[in-house]
Structure 1
Amino acid sequence: MEASHVESDLTNILYTKEEIQARVAELAAEIEKDYEGRDVLVVGVLKGAVMIMADLVRAMNKHVSMDWMAVSSYGSGTKSSGVVRILKDLDTDLMGKHVLIVEDIIDSGLTLSWLKTNLESRGPASVEICTLLRKPDAAKVQIDVKYVGYEIPTEFVVGYGLDYDEKYRNLDFIGTLAPHVYS
């Protein structure tokens, strides 16, 4: 979907398709280097991470295994509820594997902190995190994130997998959602 179809819903465009693709390629190269000589299981967090996960693994010049997990703490609102539910668990046994969690955005960090602890309890060799976006001012818990695409202000953003009430995920850029849309 093009920006012209939703321009009245946005206050600005933070990152264009081209900027996102360039940054994802940089992240992929860094991850490749760090995991040289080791197999990695890339775990995408549904639904938001679909775009970053697909582009990230396609940009890598090594074989990776992939799996998906769906967790929820939002509902249809704009704030985390704080209660995490597993909606879809992994199909892969993590014992002894190097796991890279791929997320679209980290707000409070509560959900991701819970998820990392949950995955670490399954006996992997390592668990690291890659996120396209992080809102450092929104953090409620300290969580170590090895790979960060962009740090952004505490605004409600959509596009490139990020949604509001299941809309805007298919934008090929990331923009700030206008408050009149979710107020």
Structure 2
Amino acid sequence: MRLDDVRDDLTDVLLTEEQIHDKIAELARRIEADYAGRKPLLVGVLKGAVMVMADLARELRMHIDMDWMAVSSYGAGTKSSGVVRILKDLDTDLSGRDVLIVEDIIDSGLTLSWLLGNLQSRGAASVKICALLRKPDAAKVEVDVEYIGFDIPNDFVVGYGLDYAESYRNLRGVAVLAPHVYE
């Protein structure tokens, strides 16, 4: 879905499809250099990271393995419950593996911080993070992120995997959702 298809639902376009693809290519070149001679395991965090993971994996000019994990720190509402639950665990043994967590966005950093510790505790040789988007103003904990695409404002954004009520994930860019949609 193109940004113009839902223009009335958006207030600001933050990133176009072209900007995102250019940044993913740039991140892929860095990852290739950093993991030269190794075969990293990319761990996508469901559901938001699907687009980032797919495009990054296709852009990489090296052998990789891929796996998926789903975690949640939310209860029935929109506030964090403070407890992280694994909804779908990895199928891959991490012992001795170089793991690259692939995320769509970093908000508070709380869930990602927990996930980083969890994967490190499984015997991985290394665990690094690649995130397309980060909201520095929303951070509650500092998380060391090796590969960052863009820092964005602390607004409600959708597109490129990010959703509101499971809609807008297939939007080809990233935009601020208009308040009239979710209020």
Q: TM-score range by the shorter chain?
A: over 0.9
Aligned partners of 1:76 and 1:148: how far apart in 2? 30
How many angstroms does 1:3 deviate by?
Answer: 2.1
Q: What letter matches 2:14 in structure 1?
A: L
CA-based RMSD of the aligned residues comes to 1.3
How many angstroms does 1:81 deviate by?
Answer: 3.7
- After superposition, the Cα gap between the structure-2 partners of 1:78 and 1:156, relative to the gap in structure 1 and judged at 3 Å, is farther
Aligned partners of 2:49 and 2:88: how far apart in 1? 14
* Equivalence for 2:84: 84
Q: What are the Cα deviations for residues 43-62 of structure 1, in whole angstroms up to 9, with x where unaligned?
A: 00000000000000110100
- After superposition, the Cα gap between the structure-2 partners of 1:59 and 1:76, relative to the gap in structure 1 and judged at 3 Å, is farther
* Equivalence for 1:161: 161
Aligned partners of 2:5 and 2:38: how far apart in 1? 44
Between the two proteins, what is the percent identity of the paired residues?
69
Aligned partners of 2:77 and 2:30: how far apart in 1? 34
Aligned partners of 2:77 and 2:9: how far apart in 1? 16
Aligned partners of 2:63 and 2:39: how far apart in 1? 8
- Which structure 2 residue ranges, 5 or more long, are not aligned? none
The residue matched to 2:71 in structure 1 has which SS? Answer: strand
Aligned partners of 1:100 and 1:44: how far apart in 2? 9
* Equivalence for 1:177: 177
* Equivalence for 2:112: 112
* Equivalence for 2:68: 68
- After superposition, the Cα gap between the structure-2 partners of 1:168 and 1:75, relative to the gap in structure 1 and judged at 3 Å, is farther
When the two structures are superposed, what TM-score results if normalisation uses the length of structure 2?
A: 0.96
The residue matched to 2:82 in structure 1 has which SS? Answer: coil
When the two structures are superposed, what TM-score results if normalisation uses the length of structure 1?
A: 0.96
The residue matched to 1:71 in structure 2 has which SS? Answer: strand
* Equivalence for 1:100: 100
Which contiguous aligned blocks of 4+ residues in structure 1 show a shift greater than 6 angstroms?
none
Aligned partners of 2:124 and 2:113: how far apart in 1? 16
